[in-house]
Amino acid sequence: MKILVATDGSPGGREAVKFAARLLRSLRSGRAHLLVVGTCRRNSILGVSGAPFPLTALPEMEKAERRQAERILAAAKKIAGRGIRLESHFVAPRDLAPVAKVIAREAKRIGADLVVVGSRGYAALPGLLLGSVALKLLHGCPCPVAVVQPRKR
């Protein structure tokens, strides 16, 4: 089984990594592809972040984003632990595609059997207003999607 785990380092993203690792261990076969999607270019060009960034600062921002993604992927590998095959990817889309679309494309590209993502735990209305990546994946992914809730404290 090939599982694509998209994480952003959030509590829900960490739970998604744990879930996928447990699933692969129980199956005793398969591979996990850890994915972090870069949003720096999209956010700065489209002004999503709320702060207008000059395009001359974009290369430095992208380097910082890559370093952060590498930290997230390293932490995800530790969370997953030993005993499963892991690959990690950082994708910074040049076409300004939304995160859900990038995840769906990656799932198709690697031939994923399952995509696992975390949820931020928003209620239904705020999730709709904020544009849930998980919700968009449920409707646009070429394979089944598991949405993992962060643990309640």
CATH architecture of the domain formed by 7-148: 3-Layer(aba) Sandwich (3.40)
Helix (H) or strand (E) holding 20: helix 11-27
CA 19 to chain centre: 14
Beta bridge partners of 33: 4, 87
Task: Find out whether 80 and 95 touch, Cβ atoms under 8 Å.
Answer: no
**Domain locations in the chain as residue ranges:** 7-148
pTM of the model: 0.82
| Exposure of 75 in the CB half-sphere (CA atoms within 13 A) | 16
Alpha helices in 28-118 (DSSP H): 40-46, 58-80, 99-110
Per-residue pLDDT of the chain (153 residues; tens, 9 = 90+): 999 999 998 899 999 999 999 999 999 888 999 999 987 766 665 555 544 555 555 778 888 888 999 999 999 999 988 888 899 999 988 787 889 999 999 999 999 999 999 987 655 554 444 458 888 998 889 999 999 988 776
| Exposure of 53 in the CB half-sphere (CA atoms within 13 A) | 19
Round to whole Å and give the CA distance between 141 and 124.
20
